[in-house]
Structure 1
Amino acid sequence: MTTTADTTAPAGIDAVDDILAVAREQVLEKGEGLSRDQVLSVLQLGDDRLTELLQLAHDVRMRWCGPEVEVEGIISLKTGGCPEDCHFCSQSGLFASPVRSAWIDIPSLVEAAKQTAKTGATEFCIVAAVRGPDKRLMTQVAAGIEAIRNEVDIQIACSLGMLTQEQVDELAAMGVHRYNHNLETARSHFPNVVTTHTWEERWGTLKMVREAGMEVCCGGILGMGESLEQRAEFAADLASLEPDEVPLNFLNPRPGTPFGDLDVLPASEALKSVAAFRLALPRTILRFAGGREITLGDLGAKQGILGGINAVIVGNYLTTLGRPAEDDLDLLDDLSMPIKALNDTL
């Protein structure tokens, strides 16, 4: 027997004007993501509507994505010494932050892929702190991918900064499954976050990646001083890009960076954002990424997974510690959410 969602608004709320009633009809029933203005209305909801909002986002995720959760591990092939001035990043060589420049060797890269695969992860992302890859880095990436493929059954993603068309074609030929390049924030807020390159340059790389046949992974960081209006703008930007995956990070202020003194995003605001992005992107992989531990804690992590999230990065991030992989896997088991199998990602 098929049932339909209850679209009745809570007592005292006009169903015509209530954004959650609209979202139930538009997103849950029809699968059409919320517009920029509608996302803003969601972000402006009071905390008294949070439980209802998270339930709706969860229902949307279950209807349009299913119960499976995609698990991914990441590793930094080249850390620190980046020439860009992304104000949130301790890997910039322009800031007095503690991350030193270093490369990881191929055997260590393969071992990291093996350990990631043991968690049940289907995706392993090779990351480098660069503006864009030079010949040395592309050679190292090619060698690393070949070595991993010889020993580990896992999809390989890359995040190597801005690309030329030739580099996009090379990565596609290597069999890179998905390419990550975050827009980071709304177009209108981007100049407050980065000054050494533009939002448009990042967008150009993403379009080339899509045209080359690789999956597009593109998200950003919430809590970098953006307004709610700009957060809604960012969700609309991502919806227009139609990425396969959106990683949602929350600012974890790093000492020595321009954003090192910003306040951590309140948990309720972070959870509203998770749900709002799900309602804007009903069919997209929405991944919990960096900063969720400091912003949400253990309880918030559960609420997020029950509020629209359907993918997680397990283990540590590039320069900050994450939750132990076992904790996330145990949480998914407790919630009866199966880990997406490798053959489902092909």
Structure 2
Amino acid sequence: MTATDILEIAREKVLERGEGLNKEETLAVLELSDERIPELLDLAHQVRLKWCGEEVEMEGIISLKTGGCPEDCHFCSQSGLFDSPVRSAWLDIPALVDAAKQTAKSGATEFCIVAAVKGPDEKLIQQLEEAVAAIKSEVDIEVAASIGILTQEQVDRLAAAGVHRYNHNLETARSFFPQVVTTHSWEDRRATLEMVAKAGMEVCSGGILGMGESLEQRAEFAQDLAALNPTEVPMNFLDPRPGTPFADREVMPAQDALRAIGAFRLALPKTILRFAGGRELTLGDLGVEQGLLGGINAIIVGNYLTTLGRPMEQDMDMMGKLRLPIKALNTTV
């Protein structure tokens, strides 16, 4: 399949009919030359505008429980198994409400509460239920959650509490996952997402690119995600953290990241694609703008869980510069 062929195929299949590319086609996009990236991003932007609209969804995230996680995700400095500098800490409910208020003031429409755990115990579930109720009573913002692998009972309780979207990243392709995590399986993560969808919550699942996966595995990952029919896919790029097994991995080249953004948009034409961790390090300001005009239609503002992002005001100014309106999104059916 030639470079010209794949973009012609994508224009007909994705732009005109709204059908995502398959694995072979996604791989062909990931193999495009650097010279074809502007053409790819232009097509991806057209797909985003047609099937998702022009709005950009802004989200703030906060860590309810930081550090001390028993899992060995090789990219994560919150693992208690690695010699990393992140210390364990808990936030109380007033702190979460205050953070939600600050997030709403920035113009963000989504606030995600995250905990570094394999899965929640009763204390964490109760605190999250109380936090969601407190936030909803004081702040006009959607509340999402990300607290690990769930049981059916826990899924039902979160749905009843008013959590409208649940994040649980597949992280990477099924075939590459054992190189990234050994303390639980890819299938464990997939099972939680299936329960979340059946309970009526929106599914948010993405992962991290640039951890050493092949282009074939990157294409496989896009198809793994497409099979979930997710509302949102966060796109993170590896930010090698001191003390983790991936501390010495090289930062993903910007051109490869832009190719991936375009490819994932063409594989997931009706899904919210969100810029997440590592965008600043991998792409810089110019690359971030290219991504927002090349398929991305959501962004995390402020800091991430263990790394610093850009000031919210800087992202808001960028939205104005690019003339991209901000609002809450739902996928187009």
Would you call these one fold, judging by a TM-score over 0.5?
yes
User: In the superposition, relative to structure 1, how do residues 343 and 253 fare at CA in structure 2: closer, same or farther (>3 Å)?
Assistant: closer
Correspondence for 1:102: 89
- Are the equivalent residues in 2 in contact too, given 1:122–1:342 (CA < 8 A)? no
Correspondence for 2:294: 307
Correspondence for 2:205: 218
2:208 counterpart SS class = strand
- Are the equivalent residues in 2 in contact too, given 1:154–1:342 (CA < 8 A)? no
Identity of aligned residues (%): 73
User: In the superposition, relative to structure 1, how do residues 51 and 103 fare at CA in structure 2: closer, same or farther (>3 Å)?
Assistant: same
Residue 126 of structure 2 corresponds to residue 113 of structure 1: no
Correspondence for 2:136: 149
- Are the equivalent residues in 1 in contact too, given 2:61–2:304 (CA < 8 A)? yes
Correspondence for 1:172: 159
Distance in 2, Cα, partners of 1:341 & 1:19: 32
Correspondence for 1:279: 266
Correspondence for 1:37: 24
1:246 counterpart SS class = strand
Distance in 2, Cα, partners of 1:113 & 1:343: 21
- Are the equivalent residues in 1 in contact too, given 2:231–2:331 (CA < 8 A)? no
User: In the superposition, relative to structure 1, how do residues 342 and 230 fare at CA in structure 2: closer, same or farther (>3 Å)?
Assistant: closer
Correspondence for 1:6: none
1:121 counterpart SS class = coil
TM-score using structure 2 length: 0.98
Q: Which runs of 4+ in 1 moved over 3 A?
A: 341-345
Correspondence for 2:114: 127
Residue 84 of structure 2 corresponds to residue 82 of structure 1: no
Distance in 1, Cα, partners of 2:23 & 2:314: 35
Q: After alignment, is 143-152 or 163-172 more displaced?
A: 143-152
The offset of 1:141, in angstroms, is 0.6
- Which amino acid in structure 1 is aligned with residue 265 of structure 2? R
- Are the equivalent residues in 2 in contact too, given 1:178–1:217 (CA < 8 A)? yes
- Which amino acid in structure 2 is aligned with residue 62 of structure 1? L
Distance in 2, Cα, partners of 1:18 & 1:343: 32
1:160-205 CA distance string (max 9 Å, x none): 0000000000000101010000000000000000000000000000
Correspondence for 1:162: 149
Correspondence for 1:60: 47
The offset of 1:342, in angstroms, is 8.0
- Which amino acid in structure 2 is aligned with residue 202 of structure 1? R
- Which amino acid in structure 2 is aligned with residue 92 of structure 1? S
Correspondence for 1:3: none
User: In the superposition, relative to structure 1, how do residues 18 and 343 fare at CA in structure 2: closer, same or farther (>3 Å)?
Assistant: closer
RMSD: 1.5
The offset of 1:108, in angstroms, is 1.0
Correspondence for 1:293: 280
- Are the equivalent residues in 1 in contact too, given 2:231–2:330 (CA < 8 A)? no
- Are the equivalent residues in 1 in contact too, given 2:270–2:331 (CA < 8 A)? no
Uncovered stretches (5+) of structure 2, i.e. residues with no partner: none
The offset of 1:341, in angstroms, is 4.5
The offset of 1:214, in angstroms, is 0.2
Correspondence for 1:237: 224
The offset of 1:325, in angstroms, is 0.8
Distance in 2, Cα, partners of 1:185 & 1:244: 18
Distance in 1, Cα, partners of 2:132 & 2:167: 16
The offset of 1:38, in angstroms, is 0.3
2:274 counterpart SS class = strand
Distance in 2, Cα, partners of 1:324 & 1:314: 7
Count of paired positions: 332
Q: Which protein is bigger by CA-based radius of gyration? A: 1
1:241 counterpart SS class = coil
Uncovered stretches (5+) of structure 1, i.e. residues with no partner: 1-12
1:53-78 CA distance string (max 9 Å, x none): 01000010011111000110000000
Distance in 2, Cα, partners of 1:343 & 1:169: 22
1:243-301 CA distance string (max 9 Å, x none): 00000000000000000000000000000000100000000000000000000000000
1:18-61 CA distance string (max 9 Å, x none): 10111011101111100000000000010010110010000100
Distance in 2, Cα, partners of 1:212 & 1:147: 22
Correspondence for 1:7: none
- Are the equivalent residues in 2 in contact too, given 1:126–1:158 (CA < 8 A)? yes
For residue 178 of structure 2, the aligned residue among 191, 194, 199 is: 191
- Which amino acid in structure 2 is aligned with residue 56 of structure 1? L
Residue 174 of structure 2 corresponds to residue 181 of structure 1: no
Distance in 2, Cα, partners of 1:342 & 1:55: 22
Distance in 2, Cα, partners of 1:213 & 1:224: 32
Distance in 2, Cα, partners of 1:329 & 1:14: 39
Distance in 2, Cα, partners of 1:87 & 1:255: 11
Q: After alignment, is 207-216 or 322-331 more displaced?
A: 322-331
- Which amino acid in structure 2 is aligned with residue 37 of structure 1? E
